[in-house]
Chain A
Amino acid sequence: DTAVSQTPKYLVTQMGNDKSIKCEQNLGHDTMYWYKQDSKKFLKIMFSYNNKELIINETVPNRFSPKSPDKAHLNLHINSLELGDSAVYFCASSPSLAGQDEQYFGPGTRLTVT
């Protein structure tokens, strides 16, 4: 059973389009995250949600809008895609917001904007 799953795995689209990435966790965790990994492999947190409530919004352009319909799902919608949005996006979950909790990562979604 996949603990944290993301769809799609690959996404190729043109500038200006709108796209969504979906994430689901079956671990019963309260907290979910979105991270962006750039071409140099640098990983940076974008958002975190705890029990459907937005906790962290890390100075991400407002073209990025996360939505958590329930605590097992966290989707990421991106409007007006730009070349600089090309990256790998990872979803993660943890039991709680507590700093000691290990985060479980999904397989990543490689977004390519042309």
Chain B
Amino acid sequence: AQKVTQAQTEISVVEKEDVTLDCVYETRDTTYYLFWYKQPPSGELVFLIRRNSFDEQNEISGRYSWNFQKSTSSFNFTITASQVVDSAVYFCALSESYGDSWGKLQFGAGTQVVVTP
């Protein structure tokens, strides 16, 4: 069963608009880690952020911000004032600490973000 759901397949925005990518996860572990990766058209996977299950503080890094809410099992990602260079596929991923899922990075299906000038 899919443990990470990214319900938005594609989001298209015009430059300077804000865009929020949803990520909902499912786990029974009390200790787990959530990640966001970016895959630009060139194909490589770029790490953006890691958050552990005990740290619900929101984080901001430049135009990027993340909202982690354990109550809704969500770890959403917002790009403020989007730019054409933000066009990419964004993946949310879960890493659990126990059982069969230990040591695996489980990815969502990805959200394609298209930013047009």
* Chain A positions near chain B (C-beta within 8 angstroms): 31, 33, 40-45, 48, 55-56, 58, 88, 90, 92, 97, 99-100, 102-108, 110
Contacts and interface: CB of A to CB of B under 8 A. Distances in A.
Q: Chain B, interface size: which category?
A: 20 to 34
Contacts of A44: 107
Interface of B: 31-33, 35, 37, 39, 43-45, 47, 50, 52, 89, 91, 95-97, 102-107, 109-110, 112
Contacts, number: 57
B109 A40 contact: yes
Given A92-B45, A99-B33, 16 more contacts: A31-B103, A42-B107, A45-B106, A48-B103, A56-B103, A88-B43, A97-B103, A99-B31, A99-B32, A99-B102, A100-B50, A102-B35, A102-B47, A107-B43, A107-B44, A108-B43
A57 to B, nearest CB: 11
25 contacts: A33-B105, A40-B109, A42-B107, A43-B91, A48-B104, A55-B103, A56-B104, A58-B104, A88-B43, A92-B45, A97-B102, A99-B31, A99-B32, A99-B103, A100-B33, A100-B50, A100-B52, A100-B95, A102-B35, A103-B47, A103-B105, A105-B44, A106-B44, A107-B43, A108-B43
